[in-house]
Amino acid sequence: MNSTERPRLAVRSPADLVAAVPYLLGFHPADSVVVVAVRGRRVVFAARGDLPDPGADPGPAARHLAEVVARQGTDAATVIGYGPAARVTGAVDAVGEALDGAGLLVLDALRVTDGRWWSYLCAEPACCPPEGTPYDPAASAVSAAAVFAGQVALPDRAALAAQVSPLGGPVRVAMRRATVRAHRRLAGLAGTAAGPTGEAAGRAGEAAGPAEEPAGRAGEAVGAGPMDARALRSAGLAAVRTAFRRHRRGERLGDDEVAWLTVLLTHLPVRDHAWSRTDGRDADIGLWTDVLRRAEPELIAAPGSLLAFAAWRAGHGALAAVALERVLGTHPGYSLAVLLDDALRRGLSPSELDGWPATAGRAVLRPRRRRPRR
């Protein structure tokens, strides 16, 4: 199944909804507040935030979460808190009030912990006993349907972040050497004398400025004239085409191919060409995940942003978020990552970027000052 074709899960009870949430998010939440929003009778959006620290005001985060949900054009929502009552109750109440203020109907408000769920809105002991209602996700028909459809629920968010973490050991040693060779190859293509070694060249590019545009111009400036720029673009487009073609055939790129691609992606025309060919297909997510994990740290900005874009287009917002966290942790000013991060925080639909980067979509998203992700 193509990852853009989201399977429908039949949710008929609070227990079904609790079982479905990990598959909507991609991982089992903990110490979290989750809003599952519906339009008509169909779940169309799920958003998660961390529970506030003890003693902290839950209002600002709750209002932001409600604004994101309301932006989806939804009719109603259910709020679910994961954790002990002392931390969950205030957060769930604040989100419920914020949703009411945004004009959304709150269908239910639940708390989940230790294999049981409680409803804040149901006072009938027959259906909502005070000791909570036990549930077994493994025995749920919803979980079985999700697994059958190929959906995955990882144990926690850390397991999701591990899917985009750098590979170490012999892989890292091999990639470091391959990246040195790629920088030398680029220097030869650009008609220069021996250039800096891989890591030094990467740092030199970063030193040009915090955003990707200055770094890209610094890379292009290696050449001596327009012919060199055309040669770089031609080499970049060929590398991108080869990467997509081979990966979609189920072949894994070699170390030198990955290194060459990551070096060329520092040039904006090459990065934008790769962006224009990236969609929400499983093959695209797999390609950019592999390249991101094998890339040298100074070269992760472009592949990490492209992975985030592919994941977002496929509806995997959590995967997009952890990819962006890795990019922005190392390259906080990389503007494509900043724009995508802002889109996720604002709850914009992936359709807002239809046609990017060829269209004038940059008017849709404007960078804002980044807030810490909760």
d(CA 76, CA 250) in angstroms, rounded, equals: 42
Q: Angle between the 282-294 and 226-248 helix axes, to the nearest 10 degrees?
A: 120
Q: What is the pLDDT of residue 359?
A: 53
Q: What's the half-sphere exposure (Cβ side, CA atoms, 13 Å) at 314?
A: 26
| Closest C-alpha among 317, 307, 261 to residue 282 | 307
β-sheet bridge partners, residue 45: 37
* Cβ–Cβ < 8 Å for 215, 221: no
Burial of 317 (0-12, 13-18, 19+ CB in 10 A): buried
User: Domain boundaries in the chain?
Assistant: 14-156, 169-363
Q: Give the model's pLDDT for residue 142.
A: 74
Q: With respect to CATH, is domain 14-156 assigned 3.40.140?
A: yes
Question: In this structure, which long-range contacts are made by residues 19-25, counting pairs with CB atoms below 8 Å and at least 24 apart in sequence?
Answer: 19/135, 19/137, 19/140, 19/142, 19/143, 20/142, 20/143, 20/146, 21/46, 21/80, 22/137, 22/153, 23/142, 23/143, 23/146, 23/151, 23/152, 23/153, 25/153, 25/318
Q: Is 271 helix (H, G, I), strand (E, B) or coil?
A: helix
CB 81 within 8 A of CB 89: yes
* Sequential pLDDT tens for the chain (374 residues): 223 334 556 677 888 899 889 988 999 999 999 999 988 878 888 999 999 999 899 999 999 999 999 988 889 999 999 999 999 999 999 999 999 999 999 999 999 999 999 999 998 888 889 999 998 877 777 776 776 666 778 999 999 999 999 999 999 999 999 999 999 999 888 664 333 433 333 333 333 333 333 333 333 333 334 447 888 899 999 999 999 999 988 999 999 999 999 999 999 999 999 999 998 888 999 999 999 999 999 999 999 999 999 999 888 899 999 999 999 999 999 999 999 999 998 888 776 766 666 653 443 444 444 444 44
Yes or no: say if 313 and 288 are a contact pair by the CB < 8 Å rule: no
Total-model pTM:
0.79
Query: Which pLDDT value is given to residue 365?
Result: 45
**38 within 8 A of 75, measured Cβ to Cβ:** yes
